[in-house]
Amino acid sequence: MAKISEIYVCSNCDHQIPKWQGRCPECGQWSTLKKSQILSAQGGSASGGKSQNFQLAVPPGKVVSFNEVKVSDFARIKTGISEFDRVLGGGIVLGSLVLLGGEPGIGKSTLVLQISQNLTGLVLYVSGEESVEQIKTRLDRLNFKTDNLKFLGETNVETIISTILKEKPRLAIIDSIQTLYSSEAPSSAGSVNQVRICTTKLLEVAKKNNITILIIGHVTKFGEVAGPKTLEHLVDVVLYLEGEQYQTFRILRGVKNRFGSIAEVGIFEMRQTGLVEIKDPAAIFLTEKKPTPGSVITAALEGSRVFLIEVQALVSLTNFGYPQRKSYGFDLNRLQLLTATLIRRLGLKLTNQDIYLNLVGGLKVNEPAIDLAVCLAIYSALKNVTLVAELVIFGEVGLAGEIRPVNQIAKRISEAEKLGFKKIIMPATKEKIESKIKVIQVKDLAEAIKKI
């Protein structure tokens, strides 16, 4: 048998407690705890007590064997933007729910409007932030057509769903999810509970009616989509548009994709006419200038693509008791580890030196293959030594000072060769290296410094 129990649920964060309180212990909001009822099992426990026959409240579901399931390719919508389709795995899957996040002004709305230009069929643009006149002004500035594009200025999710079911668009764009609210929840728009409810309703509409919905999400100061983490769990695809507002390059990165891989990235350049695809981006982050101390070229892997990036280091005597470590585009904690390795393994006097590190072009790299380039850039800046021109350096550095192999070595060498580089310093490997340029394999930091 089952019995009905009472609990109190916070309308702001959905936290549950057994007794009423004036203030929610999870989010700190006052007077948000509302009485609710749940159905719980009654009877003896598994570890002891009397045994009772447990009667199911609902009939069991139908179980399907995986051997009986025939898998076919997902029907996809080609957006006409190859960089966008690449990240999605070949296009937008029909009936999917896609979440696009990014900093304000990074180009999210511009990107979704460009997608609508290449689609056949109706595209419904729902905005709770901008008026139809503002959207029309942007469309005119970008010289976009509006034949298949309709606008709805609404924030009530029930009204939006009713409109979607009536219009039956090929693609519905929601800008943004944080402005929507449901009449079923008493909390304000943008709260944890509202974001969860609105996303769940949109997901149900997308799946039952085979309508593709693309929602735009705000980001927090940490660069993550605002709202509960369940927001990312509910949707099928999560994309981030990255880049600096005052830089021209934009990187579209997938962090979740139920219909494909997340190992691809898309590269765009922001211009007055919108986002322009960069289909061969290997050298876009290189600057044309003479080699200087602290400047090193490295080969970084993003997805299936290799980028040649300039790593710049600046080392100067500190004016404070504790030396500063600053990095842009590279993990600061990783920089601290590499600095300690240089001090311990090579005896470099960096304990009284400020170190500033920059990856030119605004690209943020997390893979450890650029460790060796970072170390040699710091050494070059400290000793005021200019590395030879047309040199590419890559490799992972361990805490013992050893240089460890990285993946996709052949692809990195091939890209460096195509761009005219003459020399490569890389980890020692058992792989057979076939290249027209000079390849130097090193085992530790001391050996690498001798080769530069």
Residues facing residue 17 across a β-bridge = 8
Contact call for residues 234 and 203 (beta carbons, < 8 A): yes
Residues facing residue 393 across a β-bridge = 425
Q: Which amino acid is at 48?
A: G
**Is 129 annotated as contributing to ligand binding?**
no
Query: By three-state DSSP, how is residue 256 classified?
Result: strand
At 389, list the tokens.
């021109």
Query: What does DSSP assign to residue 106?
Result: S
**Is 103 annotated as contributing to ligand binding?**
yes
**Is 109 annotated as contributing to ligand binding?**
yes
Q: Which amino acid is at 291?
A: P
Q: Could you please report the per-residue DSSP string of 151-172? A: EE---BHHHHHHHHHHH--SEE
Contact call for residues 116 and 171 (beta carbons, < 8 A): yes
In whole angstroms, give the CA distance from residue 443 to residue 66. Answer: 49
- Number of neighbouring beta carbons within 10 Å of residue 418: 13
How would you label 295-324 residue by residue, b for 16+ Cβ within 10 Å and e otherwise? bbbbbbbbbebbbbbbbbbbbeeeeeeebe
Distance of CA 354 to the CA centre of its chain: 31
Q: CA-CA distances (angstroms) from residue 39 to 2, 17, 57, 400, 435? A: 6, 15, 10, 58, 69
**Is 106 annotated as contributing to ligand binding?**
yes
Q: Which residues participate in the annotated binding site? A: 102-109
Q: Which residues participate in the annotated binding site for ATP? A: 102-109
